[in-house]
A and B are shown apart, each in its own frame.
Chain A
Amino acid sequence: MSLYESEDPDMTTDLDTPPPAPPAGGDPAPPLGPWRRALRGLASSPAAVLSGLGILLIVLAMALAPAYAKYVAKTDPFRSGLSAKIMIDGTRVPVMQRSTEGLGLGVTPIGPTWGPQYFLGADNQGRDVAARFLYGGQNSLFIAGAATLLCLACAALVGIVAGYAGGAIDAVLSNLIDMIWAFPVYLLAISLSIVMLGKSFDFGPIHLSSSSLILPIVIIGLVYVPYVARPVRGRVIAITNSEFVLAARALGIRPSRILWRHILPNVATTLIVFAPMLMALNIVTESSLSFLSVGVQAPNASWGTILQDGQALLYSRPVVSMAPGIAIMVTVMLLNLFGDVLRDILDPKSVRGR
């Protein structure tokens, strides 16, 4: 590939003959709908297949957390184990060791044993980092995934209402989107979480304790709504003014059916294209908020909270910070890679047409 003009061979061989040769009698091949074409495109892209498998593998690994804690590490990663001792090379070693730094007053948790127990060492409370890493991964992925769905749902609602209704409703919603956009995301997220985490959250019959995962999901899910709602609105407007919607109106199709059958399925691609990228963004956001201690709250773990635990141990036990950091990096890279392929396949902008 290079930057030069690349002629689409399809365009040059079309002399009013349909692209695929019509099956001559017999069993016709099933028609390829846009969705199945997209799936086929994904399946034929090595980058998409590999990154998809990678993501699946990470999710599966994290799902094994309880089994790992129970059968391999034989520990409860949510209880502090300051006085625990483990066997290494036949000797019993305390998990919290005398500090070798400074005056030797404090204690330093044990480093990686590379064995079944305390594989990645312990944190400041003597908990098994490897087990917490897996549990934390569960939470990080769950929060990011749920927040992605929430964000897509809200953005779809706002974008579709604004784009389809137009007029005053659109003006109000668009200005609101712009305003929230002008608000730095991290400050907004921190503000929301501080207010909500301040004490437990009571709103009518809903009661959420501050350690609930719902709060970070809601916060992370909401802050990126403008980023998705704006392009969704643009897409809805484009489709509403498209030739085929005009044709549907000229045919006398009911407005509700036009919205449901003609506009929404075509907006869906925009939302799907956003999903992996948003998921990646949410993983980073979750870790940042938890790092600032305004995300996931104790005793729950996430990759972000482990990074926060690791902050104090950065120079003595860097592995506590390195493991979740690398996990985040790999997961986000895989998601972005997958997202890139997905966008190339689904985004009409990348489809060349004259």
Chain B
Amino acid sequence: MTDPTPAAPILTVRDLRVSFAGARKSWNRVVHGLSLDVAAGETVALVGESGSGKSVTSLAMMRLLDPATSRIEGSITLDGHELLALSEADMVAKIRGQRATMIFQEPMTSLHPIYTVGDQLIEALTCHRPMAASAARKAAVALMERVRIPDAARRLDDYPHAFSGGMRQRVMIAMALASRPKLLIADEPTTALDVTVQGEILSLLKELQAEYGMAMLFVTHDMGVVAEMADRTVVMLRGDVVEEGTTEQVFRAPRQPYTRALLASVPALGSMAGEPVPLRFPVIDIATGAATPGTPLARQPDFSAPLLEVRDLVTRFDVRGGLLRRKVARVHAVENLSFAIHPAETLALVGESGCGKSTTGRAIIRLAGGQSSGSVRLGATELFGLDAARLRRQRREIQMIPQDPLASLNPRMTIGEALVEPFLEHRMGPFAAARAKAARLMDQVGLAPQMLERFPHEFSGGQRQRLCIARALMLDPKVIIADESVSALDVSVKAQVVNLLLDIQERTGIAFLFISHDIAVVERISHRIAVMYQGEIVEIGPRAAVMETPLHPYTRRLIDAVAIPDPARRHLRRSQPPSDLMNPIRDLSFVPPSRRYREATPGHFVRED
């Protein structure tokens, strides 16, 4: 890493400009003059938030953009070929799938659903080099084994839907390796994957790169992944390169304010060691680079009496099938969950996809569907015994902030209508009071009250999430369930929204149930953490205890898999065997085992397995 360009570059990009056709024959330029080099065996990361033009750049390099609506200018030289001068036929014959290959963000949709994995692999093998069917099959099996897909020979004839997301991404990688490319472009290859699977895929890519001596262009928004993978880093902002250098330099001594702001917004696992209470993100002004350090949360939770108490919560869904649509199996989404939340406290529920954390959030307010049992007490009220009308009134006390704010706002209502509606429905006062409160809350979440007349589509992602927060606050709830509420946001926006949530907690004493897969954010915001695995809590306790002395093996695995935005702390193990998450579908006869928990230190419980 001392010598950033060890060999002559395989890929040379000079002054790349990409424009899209806009309205009335105008061209909107989205990439303004990007230049970079990637040498054999080197990994260059292209980092940026949404709208930075990083994905467009990667597609432009493969010339996968629609020539009718896009324009690519400048120069892209790959292995001696000037790509922008090649005809489409030459791109097919010489470049795509030969010298350069690509893997994408969405493994679930990137494979053709109606061909077997083997068909698609063999197609990648044979479309440039004709070979006998048996030889191609053998080569395909070898590739699948190379990317560590267990039982490769048999799985070759399976269809993509029989594979998990991580396995599909392995197939994509195998396909990309089929022609031993000189350059692999990876466009957010692990963004859609669970954290433990992400770790495995990243280590696999590293390993294969060393073996094949490929150049790798790694497009991502995730600073942790960059720190883990890249030799050099290029930071993009709105189509411009703002900073470029070795990964060490960029992380150690960022020169540009934007890079500093970006890095400051990235939650780093372990950075909270020694901090007693949740800590706001530092704020860095992008224009000047002036930094305001994050302040800790001033208000302390009141542990005298629980506000929300969940006991033995169980949620199951029937799987029906066969002739008479009888029950054939059952999804044990949530099994015997118990926890309590106190006033002004944040309890985080962490786990990977399918662990039942979102179902838990919905089951608490009885919106999960399926069959739920157990007990949810809010103060003195038992929610599981209420009739529909009383439950509806009771919902005022517990509010939700969703993952996808756009989807959770009715596209045909103005923001004003959406905010006023719950207030009036719960008869909390006259219309004028509702409007006044809505305007006040808009101001509190950092939006102009004049924006109440607008429709959801006229806001940006971060603004929409602020709107959802304001809507929840209209009812003065005691508890807010935040279900992956910041997961879909860009890092800088994510930091702002987290800070906003902490401000609200400090001011009002609202308790949060913070559901997330992102352990680094959880570490920042929560007082206590519960780790969920397959519908059950495996470990629960104060944040410092769980993060610093994790006791359950799953908690340890989860924490180990997180990529840390610090190139000095690269830690992902190589040659990891693939682990597939178990799904919680069980036979009808399945009786969940009874569990016991051990109290390691006060308040820190771990499941005894």
The interface of chain A, by Cβ under 8 A from chain B, is 1-2, 4-7, 9, 11-20, 22, 28, 30-35, 242-244, 246-254, 257, 261-262, 265-266, 354
CB distance from A151 to the nearest CB of B (A): 24
Query: Whole-angstrom distance between the alpha carbons of A304 and B472 in the complex?
Result: 59
In chain B between 449 and 482, which residues have their CB closer than 8 angstroms to a CB of chain A?
A: 450-451, 453-455, 457-463, 468, 471-472, 475
Please tell me which one of the listed residues A13, A18, A35, A253 contacts residue B421 in the complex, with CB atoms under 8 A apart.
A253
Q: When the two chains form their complex, are residues A12 and B404 in contact, meaning their CB atoms are under 8 A apart?
A: no
Asked if B139 is an interface residue, CB under 8 A from chain A, the answer is no
The contact sample of 26 A-B pairs, CB cut-off 8 A, is: A1-B66, A6-B66, A6-B68, A7-B56, A7-B69, A12-B30, A12-B55, A13-B30, A14-B51, A15-B50, A16-B49, A17-B460, A19-B457, A28-B453, A31-B414, A33-B414, A34-B412, A34-B455, A243-B402, A243-B404, A248-B421, A251-B399, A252-B396, A253-B392, A253-B425, A254-B425
Please tell me which one of the listed residues B30, B59, B411, B492 contacts residue A34 in the complex, with CB atoms under 8 A apart.
B411
Within 8 Å CB of A18, what residues of B? 458-460, 463
Q: Closest residue to B454 on the A side, CB-wise?
A: A31
Given A7-B20, A34-B412, are A250 and B64 also a contact pair (CB < 8 Å)?
no
Q: When the two chains form their complex, are residues A12 and B426 in contact, meaning their CB atoms are under 8 A apart?
A: no
Query: Whole-angstrom distance between the alpha carbons of A246 and B30 in the complex?
Result: 37
In chain B between 43 and 79, which residues have their CB closer than 8 angstroms to a CB of chain A?
A: 49-53, 55-56, 59, 64-70
Please tell me which one of the listed residues A9, A28, A254, A354 contacts residue B28 in the complex, with CB atoms under 8 A apart.
A9
The interface of chain B, by Cβ under 8 A from chain A, is 20-22, 28, 30, 49-53, 55-56, 59, 64-70, 106, 237-238, 362, 365, 367, 392-396, 399-400, 402, 404, 407-414, 421-422, 425-426, 448, 450-451, 453-455, 457-463, 468, 471-472, 475, 490, 492-493
Q: When the two chains form their complex, are residues A16 and B408 in contact, meaning their CB atoms are under 8 A apart?
A: no
Q: Closest residue to A354 on the B side, CB-wise?
A: B106
Q: When the two chains form their complex, are residues A247 and B400 in contact, meaning their CB atoms are under 8 A apart?
A: yes
Query: Whole-angstrom distance between the alpha carbons of A291 and B409 in the complex?
Result: 50
Q: When the two chains form their complex, are residues A5 and B59 in contact, meaning their CB atoms are under 8 A apart?
A: yes
CB distance from A15 to the nearest CB of B (A): 4
Within 8 Å CB of B396, what residues of A? 252
Q: When the two chains form their complex, are residues B66 and A16 in contact, meaning their CB atoms are under 8 A apart?
A: no
Given A15-B238, A247-B400, A252-B426, are A31 and B461 also a contact pair (CB < 8 Å)?
no
Q: When the two chains form their complex, are residues B490 and A253 in contact, meaning their CB atoms are under 8 A apart?
A: no
Within 8 Å CB of B426, what residues of A? 252
Please tell me which one of the listed residues B237, B362, B411 contacts residue A15 in the complex, with CB atoms under 8 A apart.
B237
Given A5-B59, A14-B460, A18-B463, are A265 and B412 also a contact pair (CB < 8 Å)?
yes
Q: When the two chains form their complex, are residues A261 and B408 in contact, meaning their CB atoms are under 8 A apart?
A: no
Q: When the two chains form their complex, are residues A13 and B28 in contact, meaning their CB atoms are under 8 A apart?
A: yes
Q: When the two chains form their complex, are residues B68 and A251 in contact, meaning their CB atoms are under 8 A apart?
A: no
Given A7-B56, A247-B400, are A16 and B460 also a contact pair (CB < 8 Å)?
yes
Given A7-B20, A31-B455, A252-B396, are A1 and B68 also a contact pair (CB < 8 Å)?
yes
CB distance from B476 to the nearest CB of A (A): 13
Q: Closest residue to A247 on the B side, CB-wise?
A: B408
Please tell me which one of the listed residues B50, B409, B450, B492 contacts residue A244 in the complex, with CB atoms under 8 A apart.
B409
Within 8 Å CB of A5, what residues of B? 59, 64-66
Query: Whole-angstrom distance between the alpha carbons of A6 and B66 in the complex?
Result: 5
Q: When the two chains form their complex, are residues B367 and A261 in contact, meaning their CB atoms are under 8 A apart?
A: no
CB distance from B389 to the nearest CB of A (A): 9
Please tell me which one of the listed residues B65, B66, B422, B468 contacts residue A253 in the complex, with CB atoms under 8 A apart.
B422
Report which residue of A1, A34, A354 has the largest number of chain B beta carbons within 10 angstroms of its beta carbon. A34
Please tell me which one of the listed residues A11, A13, A243, A265 contacts residue B407 in the complex, with CB atoms under 8 A apart.
A243
Within 8 Å CB of B400, what residues of A? 247, 250
CB distance from A267 to the nearest CB of B (A): 11
Beyond A16-B462, A250-B367, A261-B421, 13 extra complex contacts between A and B, CB < 8 Å? A1-B69, A4-B64, A13-B30, A16-B490, A18-B458, A243-B404, A246-B367, A247-B400, A252-B426, A253-B425, A257-B421, A257-B425, A354-B106
CB distance from A195 to the nearest CB of B (A): 37
CB distance from A242 to the nearest CB of B (A): 7
Query: Whole-angstrom distance between the alpha carbons of A31 and B411 in the complex?
Result: 13
Within 8 Å CB of A33, what residues of B? 412, 414, 455
Query: Whole-angstrom distance between the alpha carbons of A5 and B68 in the complex?
Result: 10
Query: Whole-angstrom distance between the alpha carbons of A16 and B495 in the complex?
Result: 13
Within 8 Å CB of A17, what residues of B? 460
Within 8 Å CB of A19, what residues of B? 457-458, 460
Q: When the two chains form their complex, are residues A252 and B453 in contact, meaning their CB atoms are under 8 A apart?
A: no
Please tell me which one of the listed residues B30, B69, B493 contacts residue A6 in the complex, with CB atoms under 8 A apart.
B69
Report which residue of B365, B450, B454, B475 has the largest number of chain A beta carbons within 10 angstroms of its beta carbon. B454
Q: When the two chains form their complex, are residues B30 and A16 in contact, meaning their CB atoms are under 8 A apart?
A: no
Query: Whole-angstrom distance between the alpha carbons of A4 and B30 in the complex?
Result: 18
Within 8 Å CB of B408, what residues of A? 243-244, 246-247
Within 8 Å CB of B238, what residues of A? 13, 15
